[in-house]
Amino acid sequence: MQYSLKEFQRLMKDLYFEKDKKRGVHKTFFWIIEEIGELSEALRKEDQELIKDEIADIIAWICSLANLLEIDIEDALKKYSGTCPKCNQIPCECEID
């Protein structure tokens, strides 16, 4: 099944909000970091299916954190409204860090 970002954030809220609320913001954030570590391992192994799964997990945890903080992710993404938010260009012309 495919979801819009708004639908997916709502699904994460419906599925996990009560557990997330008990866990709290800080522990939910730590789970995001854990998932990023798992993505790092998947990248090291060059395992495309595992990489895909870990990216999905990271997005799910980001949605959970946003729900706890009462942030609508689609609204927050307006920061990227068609151009780079720093240089206002397409493609970005900022110096590589």
Q: Which fold has domain 5-80?
A: Helix Hairpins (1.10.287)
Q: How confident is the model at residue 54 (pLDDT cuts 50, 70, 90)?
A: very high
pTM: 0.91
Indicate whether 97 pLDDT > 90.
no
Dist. CA 73–CA 36, nearest whole Å: 19
3-class DSSP state of 46: coil
Q: What is the pLDDT of residues 69-82, one digit of tens each?
A: 999 999 999 999 89
pLDDT at 74: 96
Residue of 33, 4, 24 whose CA lies nearest to 64: 24
Domain boundaries, the chain: 5-80
State which amino acid sits at residue 85: P
Mean pLDDT over each residue of the chain, to the nearest integer: 96
Task: Locate 90 and state its tokens.
Answer: 């397409």
